[in-house]
Amino acid sequence: MENLPLLDIVIGLSLIYTSLSLLASELTQYTITALKWKQKYFRRCLMILLGESSLIGDPEQFKDTITSRILLTPRIISVIQSARYRNRAMMLTDVPPLLFSETLLEVLQNLSQSSSSRIQQYTIDHSSTQLQSIQTIVEESSTLSPSLRANLTRLIRQVETWEPDPQRQMVRLKHEIARWYGHAMAEMSPIYKHHYQLVVFFVSLGLTVAMNVDSLYIIRRISENTAMRAITTQNATQIQGCKASLNSPQCTERLSGLMESTTIPVGWQDSNRRKQFARLDGVICLRTIGGWSLTSIAIAMGSRFWLQLLRRLGTFLGRDSQPRR
């Protein structure tokens, strides 16, 4: 590969970015889980959806909101807690739309036990349909916000118009509420993902500075050192051990071994620091900051991207190294 130094540089950087992306992903997941950031963001979005955003900063009044009643139901608690053990931090919510719909209707029906006598009468009266009972609860309950009352009333009227069969009206209402919830979460998800990417970037930046991974400096060193390029290229052909699963423990262990056997200028050790900061001036500082920023952006792209790139490069180099007939 001596005639392709650019390819050697790409391989060397990909090895570094893959290892750091795996580590940054775990640190991000741990940070979000420890701070319960995802749950707080989901609660905020749910309060906006249910028209209770004015109470976001009031913990005392939050206890009596529909959002609080929904989040405290056993099924919602079970779904949220089980999601902590899965690497799904980038998703805004793990609550399926139909589950939210069923939970909201359950909360509304429970309101009749502590509301006015008119609501209780409609709940007990078997001559009225379930849809009519829900409509009465929506119209009479003072717990619901004006916007939630208006949205539910609109959905109930649509169901009455589209579905004349009383036996199927509640089923239709569940799906309409689920569609409303899913559409709202889809609109809020890009904002959450943008904030999530910011968290990933700052975690990556902290990891980059802590380990002193300067991409511009690494490019210069690899391009100048032919022996280093040869070792890096030879090791990259062994990345094929990650074909089965990109994020498997076996793949991570193989990648760690490759990094240990590959001489790449990373870290704060004296020998590396003296070459990296041969002199301290504005140009060196700006170049180092630029190299750190470039590394942080690359790490934030995720380990899957770099593992796939390494796997393809390993396949290409392995095929290229076979003797030609």
| Per-residue pLDDT, 2 | 46
Cβ-based neighbours of 168, under 8 Å, separated by 6 or more: none
Domain boundaries, the chain: 5-30+198-321, 36-188
Residues in the chain with pLDDT < 50?
Answer: 1-3, 117, 119, 122-127, 237, 243, 246, 261, 325
Q: What is the DSSP letter of 268?
A: S
| Per-residue pLDDT, 63 | 82
pLDDT tens-digit map of 142-159:
889 999 999 999 999 999
Q: Rounded to whole angstroms, what are the CA distances from 141 to 27, 111, 135?
A: 45, 8, 10
Q: Rounded to whole angstroms, what are the CA distances from 237 to 64, 302, 320, 321?
A: 60, 21, 10, 10
Tokens in use for 98? 């139909």
pLDDT tens-digit map of 119-132:
455 444 444 578 88
| Contact criterion met (CB below 8 Å) for 267 and 212 | yes
Query: What whole-number distance in Å separates Cα of residue 131 and Cα of residue 75?
Result: 23
How far is Cα of residue 323 from the mean position of the Cα atoms in its chain? 45
Q: Hey, CA dihedral for 300, 302, 305, 307, is it positive or negative? A: positive
| Per-residue pLDDT, 143 | 85
| Per-residue pLDDT, 126 | 44
Q: 């193989």: which residue's tokens?
A: 254
Burial label for 323, CB within 10 Å (0-12, 13-18, 19+), is: exposed
